[in-house]
């Protein structure tokens, strides 16, 4: 029942607003795998979160997403974020957060886990590496998701398994996002993992 209510009160209005009013469109195949980690970028505006939900609607998936613990501390907003599929993680303890996510991914047969690798709307000189190690440790494929404000298009890649060769995999990721324009281009973080 919860999924049906979310579809009626959240997904359909979001889809109508983004397609019908703002002219956005969805590109790429709908994911065929039951479980994947969606790496969505770039995150430079608060509107990107709603846009991410629109992408999920178009892909016919109900997503889970990772958010900083502080987002969930408000008694009202915290419940709403959980209802929207949020998974709170403690960014001050990244190892514990990664272990929590590994458990969560491994124990589910079906999952759409959306992660923003920048971890912030502000400029950063790297992407956080948690998404990569999560995919590696759980043997879960990545699907890259671009939010392109220049073309008003959300594009999904085909699923791919990380190889363990980080630089080779990052080249694939960089190529996918090469022509994407964020809402605030000056905040786009370079696609390289933190050292």
pLDDT digits (tens, 9 = 90+) for 83-142: 888 888 887 787 888 888 888 888 888 888 888 898 888 988 889 888 999 999 999 999
Q: pLDDT tens for residues 25-34?
A: 888 788 889 9
Q: Is residue 193 part of a domain?
A: no
Q: Is residue 62 part of a domain?
A: yes
Number of compact structural domains in the chain: 1
Residue (of 79, 78, 49) closest to 145 by Cα position: 49
Per-residue burial over 1-16, b if 16 or more Cβ lie within 10 Å, else e, is eeeeebeeebbeebbe
Number of neighbours of residue 43 by Cβ within 10 angstroms: 24
* High-pLDDT (> 70) share of the chain, %: 93
| Helix, coil or strand: residue 60 | coil
Would the pLDDT of 195 be above 80? no
What is the pLDDT, as a whole number, of residue 157? 93
Q: Is residue 70 part of a domain?
A: yes
| Helix, coil or strand: residue 112 | strand
- Give the residue, 167 or 20, on which the prediction is more confident: 167
Average pLDDT over residues 163-183: 94
Q: Helix 130-138 to helix 94-106 angle, to the nearest 10 degrees?
A: 40
Q: Is residue 192 part of a domain?
A: no
Average pLDDT over residues 11-20: 71
Residue (of 10, 117, 9, 107) closest to 66 by Cα position: 117
Give Dmax (Cα) for the chain: 44
Average pLDDT over residues 156-161: 93
Q: Is residue 194 part of a domain?
A: no
Q: Is residue 38 part of a domain?
A: yes
Q: Is residue 37 part of a domain?
A: yes
Segments in 39-93 forming alpha helices (H):
47-58, 75-83
Domain that holds residue 116: 2-187
Q: Is residue 178 part of a domain?
A: yes
* Average confidence score pLDDT of the chain: 86
């Amino acid at each position: 029942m919860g999924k049906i209510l979310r579809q009626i009160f959240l997904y359909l209005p979001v889809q109508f607003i983004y397609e019908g009013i703002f002219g956005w469109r969805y590109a790429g195949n709908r994911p065929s795998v039951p479980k994947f980690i969606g790496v969505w970028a770039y995150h430079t505006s608060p509107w990107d979160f709603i846009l991410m939900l629109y992408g999920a609607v178009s892909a016919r998936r109900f997503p889970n997403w990772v958010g900083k613990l502080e987002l969930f501390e408000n008694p009202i907003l915290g419940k709403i974020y959980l209802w929207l599929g949020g998974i709170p993680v403690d960014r001050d303890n990244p190892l514990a957060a990664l272990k929590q996510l590994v458990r969560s991914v491994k124990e589910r047969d079906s999952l759409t886990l959306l992660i923003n690798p920048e971890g912030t709307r502000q400029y950063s000189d790297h992407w956080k590496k948690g998404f990569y190690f999560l995919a590696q440790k759980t043997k879960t494929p990545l699907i890259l998701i671009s939010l392109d404000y220049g073309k008003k298009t959300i594009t999904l890649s085909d699923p791919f398994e990380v190889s363990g060769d980080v630089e080779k995999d990052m080249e694939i990721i960089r190529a996918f996002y090469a022509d994407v324009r964020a809402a605030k281009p000056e905040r786009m973080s370079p696609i390289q993992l933190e050292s």
